[in-house]
């Protein structure tokens, strides 16, 4: 079964994950230079079997037509460059959440520096707005210069540092 296409941009197809993407998922998330920015307790993916499990978990989440964690495939080569996500943020510890939604991106180093994160995130934001989401946030570790730059290229408004989500102090942005 072919993975469902969620949206396309000029250079990219954003789609559900395929079982055949497992090697690439493992190659992306086994790298410290990628994984160091992810989660409250960053760690690399330990083995290839973990990639299969994460693909299954992501595709279960992707049953919703608005939210998901999707593969970003380059049209020209068919290579999965990385991941783009549009997901509800976890409720803040102070329970003041209003159902905020996050856009995020994780890319293989061979895809860095070509505007693919910005292009896929812009597409995810457009997808979210067309689906009725009013505001979309990004949360970034303060020393992640590349992702901070993506937020700037997306025209997101900086809100400052917050510890509301993920148990870490993060720079927050909204569009």
Domains of the chain: 5-174 (3.40.630.30)
pLDDT, one tens digit per residue, over 79-137 is 999 999 999 998 765 555 578 999 999 999 999 999 999 999 999 999 999 999 999 99
Residue pointed to by tokens 């979210």: 128
The answer to whether the pTM exceeds 0.85 is yes
How high is the pLDDT of residue 34?
97
pLDDT, one tens digit per residue, over 39-84 is 888 999 999 999 999 999 999 988 888 999 999 999 999 999 999 9
How high is the pLDDT of residue 54?
97
Over the chain, what is the mean pLDDT?
94
Q: How many CA atoms lie within 13 A of 43 on its CB side?
A: 5
């Amino acid at each position: 079964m072919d993975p469902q296409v969620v949206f396309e941009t000029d250079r990219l197809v954003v789609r559900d994950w395929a079982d055949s993407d497992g090697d690439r998922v493992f190659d992306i998330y086994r790298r410290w230079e990628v994984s160091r920015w992810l989660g409250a307790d960053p760690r690399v993916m330990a083995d290839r079997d973990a990639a299969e499990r994460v693909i299954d978990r992501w595709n279960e989440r992707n049953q919703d037509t608005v939210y998901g964690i999707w593969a970003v495939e380059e049209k020209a080569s068919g290579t999965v460059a990385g991941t783009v996500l549009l997901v509800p943020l976890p409720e803040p510890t102070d329970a003041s959440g209003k159902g905020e939604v996050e856009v995020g991106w994780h890319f293989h180093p061979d895809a860095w520096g070509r505007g693919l994160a910005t292009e896929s995130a812009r597409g995810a934001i457009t997808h979210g707005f067309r689906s009725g989401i009013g505001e979309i946030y990004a949360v970034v570790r303060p020393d992640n210069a590349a992702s901070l730059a993506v937020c700037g290229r997306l025209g997101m408004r900086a809100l400052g540092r917050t510890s509301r989500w993920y148990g870490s102090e993060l720079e927050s942005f909204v569009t």
